[in-house]
Amino acid sequence: IAKEVAKLLEMKAQLGEDEGKHKFVLKTPKGTRDYGPKQMAIRERVFNAIISCFKRHGAEVIDTPVFELKETLTGKYGEDSKLIYDLKDQGGELLSLRYDLTVPFARYLAMNKITNIKRYHIAKVYRRDNPAMTRGRYREFYQCDFDIAGQFDPMIPDAECLKIVHEILSDLQLGDFVIKVNDRRILDGMFAVCGVPDSKFRTICSSVDKLDKVPWEEVRSEMVGEKGLSPEAADRIGEYVQLHGGLELIERLLQDPKLSQNKLAKEGLGDMKLLFEYLTLFGITGKISFDLSLARGLDYYTGVIFEAVLLHQENEHVEEPLSVGSVAGGGRYDGLVGMFDPKGRKVPCVGVSIGIERIFSILEQRLEASEEKIRTTETQVLVASAQKKLLEERLKLISELWDAGIKAEMLYKKNPKLLNQLQYCEDTGIPLVAIVGEQELKDGVVKLRIVATREEVNVRRESLVEEIRIRTSQC
């Protein structure tokens, strides 16, 4: 403790010094970034695609606080818990920043005794992970979650979640993708028939989860070396986890002499078959792969799990290639709400989370490469003047336009040069200029200039709003 205190005091002293010298480190915290206007324009496009899809599927929307009581998050994330950001104890409650949107959702359901809801939630979550920002891995990042809670007939909501991922990834045109699907019950049944002791299910599951990043040999040696699994059990797992396919693989495994004897695996495989039938009706099995190596890191999954990965890297000419990675994931978590209910009442849930930082990275790089110009404002008209001493007239006109709902700007100068005003339109993409001058004022007109064509027309002042609307309408 003395050491801790000394460290703190040292830091305080450092801080104090910095203050005195007015020497600041000008940066955002590690693993975080600002979004400038251009990035925001891309972000809005992605959000719009995702929100449209969630609304198309009839979801309501909720929001929860950025932090939760620390104990709300405790015991939900397995080995990942060490990545949770805690707040300092400043008296009062112990708080942590949310690690995902699923646990706050389950807390919300239990707290409000909601047993039936379909909702989406788009918000930032926080993980003290090792950032790799060029590849879209941040410590502060957005999740876009869609979840269906309620007691329903099997696999219908689960199939809808996969349909949603398929719709969003198709809509965003990120290139080819595959959605890997598995089931925690199949994994657990597989662990059982391979001879993994019950107590090691979760930790072996975490090892399997690494298979998308490291080769099997490394995962195997973690299982045997670090986690004390017998080499024979590991090898048996190794045979299963290389399997992936479609309906025919499910049928084969349903006949597998060992797996078919295991109750959990049989249940999982039966549901997986049903899921594939529904996905066939949705016409999306072409991009779905039943993959026994898919494990998902989080503790709370109880049934179907899935993860979407982009298959080809987009900008092959970019020097540092984008790593192809997971852009969406989710699954069924039937026990999580019950962990919050005083009487343990369960609310079955299934949901999907779209991770948009990687998608941003791809779209950002693509945009830079394309040199497409994106507007960062929606301004329809610049109110300008050709002569001096017309500030008051510009203020009057712009005020009329704002009050009529027109998006209008002006330069904040008393006597701006016309050339500077026109240049501002070129730079920011404003399509029209409304020019006031002595003569126009006398005549009761405004000169409307179309920036693209340099055409100029005199418009009667009372028709100006309508004229601007017509000339800037998209339809």
As annotated, the binding site for L-histidine includes: 100-102, 127, 143, 147, 296, 300-301
What CA–CA distance (Å, rounded) separates 375 from 395?
25
d(CA 70, CA 57): 33
Q: In the complex with a second copy, which residue's Cβ is closer, 56 or 263?
A: 56
Residue 59 or 190 having the CB closest to a second copy: 59
Instruction: Enumerate the known binding-site residues.
Output: 100-102, 127, 143, 147, 296, 300-301
- CA dist 106 and 360 (Å) reads 28
If you ran DSSP here, which 8-state letter would residue 226 be given? I
Residue 320 buriedness (CB in 10 A; 0-12 / 13-18 / 19+)? exposed
Pairing of strands 408-409, 432-436: unpaired
Closest CA to 284 of 137, 423, 181: 181
Task: Evaluate whether 355 touches 145 at the Cβ level (below 8 Å).
Answer: no
Smaller CB separation from a second copy, 104 or 268: 104
Q: Give me the residues paired with residue 308 across strands.
A: 179, 328
Give strand pairing partners of 120.
Answer: 61, 146
Nearer to a second copy, 387 or 399 (CB): 399
Shortest distance (Å) from residue 309 CB to a second copy: 23
What DSSP designation does 78 have?
Answer: G
Question: Cβ of residue 338: shortest distance to a second copy, in angstroms?
Answer: 9
By C-beta, is 26 or 419 nearer to a second copy? 26
Task: Decide: helix, strand or coil at residue 429.
Answer: coil
**Smallest separation (angstroms) from a second copy to the CB of 236:** 34
Q: Which residues of 86-119 are buried (b: 16+ CB within 10 A; e: fewer)?
A: eeeeeeeeebbbbbbbbbbbbbbbbeeebeebbb
Q: Reduced to 3 states, what is the DSSP secondary structure of residue 424?
A: helix
Task: Please give, one letter per residue, the 3-state secondary structure of 356-371.
Answer: HHHHHHHHHHHHHHHC
Identify which of residues 133 and 224 has a Cβ nearer to a second copy in the complex: 133
Smallest distance, a second copy to C-beta of residue 268, A: 19
Nearest alpha carbon to residue 207 among 229, 189, 182, 175: 229
Distance between CA atoms of 186 and 97, rounded to whole angstroms? 33
Q: How far is the CB of 233 from a second copy (least distance, A)?
A: 30
Please identify which residue in the block is written with the tokens 């290639």. Answer: 321
Find the helix packing angle between 184-194 and 231-241, rounded to 10°. Answer: 140
Q: State in angstroms the smallest separation of the CB of 107 from a second copy.
A: 7
CB of 404 to a second copy, least distance (A): 10
**CB-wise, 222 or 409, nearer to a second copy?**
409
Shortest Å distance, C-beta 256 to a second copy: 28
**Nearer Cβ to a second copy (256/267):** 267
Asked whether 331 and 179 are in contact (CB, 8 A), the reply is no
Q: Which is nearer to a second copy, 218 or 438 (CB)?
A: 438
7, 9, 10, 11 alpha-carbon torsion, rounded to 10°: 90
Min CB(248)–a second copy separation in Å = 21
User: What's the closest the beta carbon of residue 434 comes to a second copy, in angstroms?
Assistant: 14
Alpha-carbon distance 441 to 94, whole Å? 65
Q: Which is nearer to a second copy, 371 or 378 (CB)?
A: 378
**Residue from 308, 350, 348 nearest 329 by CA:** 308
Q: b/e for 380-403, b at 16 or more Cβ within 10 A?
A: bbbbbbeeeebeebbeebbeebee
Q: Minimum CB separation from a second copy for residue 181, in Å? A: 17
